[in-house]
Amino acid sequence: MILANKLNITDQIELARAEEKISKQKAKQLFDSGNINKAEVGKFAGLVFIHAYLFEEIYAFAGKIRDVNIAKGTIAFARVMYLEASIKHIDAMPQSNVDQIIEKYVEMNIAHPFREGNGRATRIWLDLMLKKEIQQVVDWNAVDKDDYLSAMQRSVVKDLEINALIKQALTDQIDDRALFMKGIDVSYYYEGYSEFKTEEL
């Protein structure tokens, strides 16, 4: 069933298109306005800030913890009744080196706190941790889509593959606007959205 949305769109293709366009515009604004620096790094509150920023014009659930259980493939993400406890635990996880940061990212993915848009918001959240704690970010263009998705599926059991994949893509270009915009495009491409270039919106 198509998600209820503030745009009152009932056609799923049209909704996907509008969601991509509007939220990419918001991602661009998040960087250019400097508002991205207001997100609390490594905390759920920071992820809420990013998610709300990207999706508030589209969905009433933007920045809100989901109230339905969700699954992908054979994986069920954290059940609603355990979600708050899980988030509390993740907030307290350490983030002082790259291994800890990737572990934290993997746990937040397993929590999947929002109804939709988890992948895209959480990758921005990951980059903020890397930027602050180790002065590096991911060059998402150096992470192949199929490799990424298979490593994320595997990460529920073991984070070896996602750990290696992220490490080989780290770059020192932490304030590079073009790298950020390209990263948004690649992140959206992982989720099947590739109609608009963030830079051109």
Point out which residues bind ligand ATP (CB under 6 A): 72-73, 75, 109, 116-120, 152-153, 156, 190-191
What's the CA gap between 152 and 157, in Å, rounded?
Answer: 10
Q: What is the DSSP string of 125-193?
A: HHHHHHHHHHS-EE-GGGS-HHHHHHHHHHHTT--HHHHHHHHTTEES-TT-HHHHHHHHHHHHHHTT-
Interaction partner, residue 34 (Mg ion, ligand ATP, none; CB < 5-8 Å by kind): none
Task: Pick left, alpha or beta for residue 147 (phi over 0 → left; psi -120 to 50 → alpha; otherwise beta).
Answer: alpha
Closest CB 31 distance from ligand ATP, rounded Å = 17
Shortest distance in whole angstroms from residue 76 CB to ligand ATP: 9
Nearer to Mg ion, 103 or 116 (CB): 116
Q: Which residue is nearest to Mg ion (CB)?
A: 116
Q: Are 101 and 129 in contact (CB under 8 A)?
A: yes
Q: Using the minimum distance from each CB to ligand ATP, give the nearer residue, 75 or 179.
A: 75
Write down the least CB distance from residue 167 to Mg ion, Å: 26
Contact positions toward Mg ion, by CB under 5 A? 116
